């Protein structure tokens, strides 16, 4: 059965292309590329003679049918983006959806990813995170993004253009507070790679003085208040589970949980009822 390979490509340093990715690019009959000019450089580097076909946000829907027909004819194909992992803030989702619906194999070839590279080098918690791509530029959608980041108990990863970075940092300072921990990762894996770590206020001061250039990924640390609230609920659940197993009445358990952990009574009751429902399901 024919296969569509989702091939991760370097985000800067061409040496980051994996041997497996290079083998795939040499083996397929066509490479589906966001920008065929940029992908031609990579194809030539690995010695691929595959035909390059443009697949971008403006033609993806129309291309999907043709791509499925090529797979129907037994051709193996590779989908790449300009840099990094396909579909992550890049085209390809419609193609993959159509290929899966047609019953063909979709195989990821893991590799470089700007969000993950920035996250792990940020110095911020990486065990749980949210990736939001490019934030909305204005209006209610932008305010919703900022509010979500401000209230998040998880680290948040964003893309932003260098021209809009200072404005984003200003908005984050207003929404999250000047002391919220942040890392701005710029030109990751490239010659001028830079990580600016510290508070939002410190990053804002730096980039007001030094105009950013190149690819930018912003990593925002979690809200301490949100993390504390999440931890309090987790402890409350553990206490409630112990008391229920010991045979205590649910109403008494809810009161104790609310008093000991400073939770609203309705939340304490919801925790107890959820635990009872889980025990019933099991």
Using an 8 Å Cβ cutoff, are 34 and 64 in contact?
Answer: no
Interatomic CA distance for residues 155 and 49, integer angstroms: 42
Q: Which tens digits make up the pLDDT trace of 114-155?
A: 999 999 999 999 999 999 999 999 999 999 999 999 999 999
**pLDDT, average across residues 245-259:** 82
**What pLDDT, on the 0 to 100 scale, is given for residue 228?**
64
Reply yes or no on whether the pLDDT at 273 is more than 90. Answer: no
Sequence-ordered alpha helix ranges (H) in the chain: 19-27, 36-46, 60-72, 93-101, 114-121, 139-151, 165-176, 200-209, 224-245, 250-261, 265-281
133 vs 158: CA distance, rounded Å: 5
Q: How far is CA 47 from CA 50, 75, 179, in A?
A: 9, 19, 50
**Mean pLDDT of all residues in 205-234:** 87
Q: Is the pLDDT of residue 282 over 60?
A: no
Give the lowest-confidence range in 71-85, 99-113, 176-190, 264-278: 264-278
Q: Is the pLDDT of residue 280 over 70?
A: no
Please, what's the b/e burial string for 48-66 (b: 16 or more CB within 10 A of its CB; e: otherwise)?
bebebbbbbeeebeebbee
Distance CA 190, CA 206 (A): 20
Q: Is 84 left (phi over 0), alpha (psi -120 to 50) or beta?
A: left
pLDDT for position 254: 81
Q: Give the tens place of pLDDT for each residue, 44-84.
A: 999 999 999 999 989 998 999 999 999 999 999 999 999 99
pTM across the whole model: 0.81
Q: How far apart are CA 133 and CA 127, in angstroms?
A: 19
């Amino acid at each position: 059965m024919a296969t569509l390979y989702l091939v991760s490509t370097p985000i800067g340093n061409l040496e980051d292309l994996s041997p497996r990715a290079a083998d795939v690019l040499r083996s397929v009959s066509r490479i589906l590329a966001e920008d065929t000019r940029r992908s031609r450089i990579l194809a030539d580097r690995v010695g691929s003679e595959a035909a390059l076909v443009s697949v971008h946000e403006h033609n993806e829907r129309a291309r999907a049918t043709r791509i499925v027909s090529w797979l129907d004819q037994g051709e193996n194909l590779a989908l790449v983006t300009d840099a990094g992992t396909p579909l992550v803030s890049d085209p390809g989702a419609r193609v993959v959806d159509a290929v899966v619906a047609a019953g063909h194999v979709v195989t990821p070839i893991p590799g470089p990813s700007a969000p993950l590279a920035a996250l792990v080098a940020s110095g911020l918690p990486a065990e749980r995170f949210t990736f939001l791509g490019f934030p909305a530029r204005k209006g209610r959608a932008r305010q919703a993004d900022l509010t979500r980041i401000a209230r998040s108990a998880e680290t948040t990863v964003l893309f932003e253009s260098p021209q809009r970075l200072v404005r984003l940092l200003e908005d984050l300072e207003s929404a999250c507070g000047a002391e919220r921990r942040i890392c701005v990762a710029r030109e990751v894996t490239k010659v001028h790679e830079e990580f600016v770590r510290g508070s939002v206020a410190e990053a804002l001061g730096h980039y007001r003085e030094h105009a950013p250039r190149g690819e930018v990924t912003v990593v925002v640390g979690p809200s301490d208040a949100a993390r504390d609230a999440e931890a309090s609920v987790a402890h409350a659940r553990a206490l409630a589970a112990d008391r229920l197993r010991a045979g205590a009445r649910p109403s008494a358990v809810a009161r104790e949980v609310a008093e000991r952990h400073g939770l609203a009574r309705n939340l304490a009751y919801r925790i107890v009822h959820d635990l009872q429902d889980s025990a019933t399901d099991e």
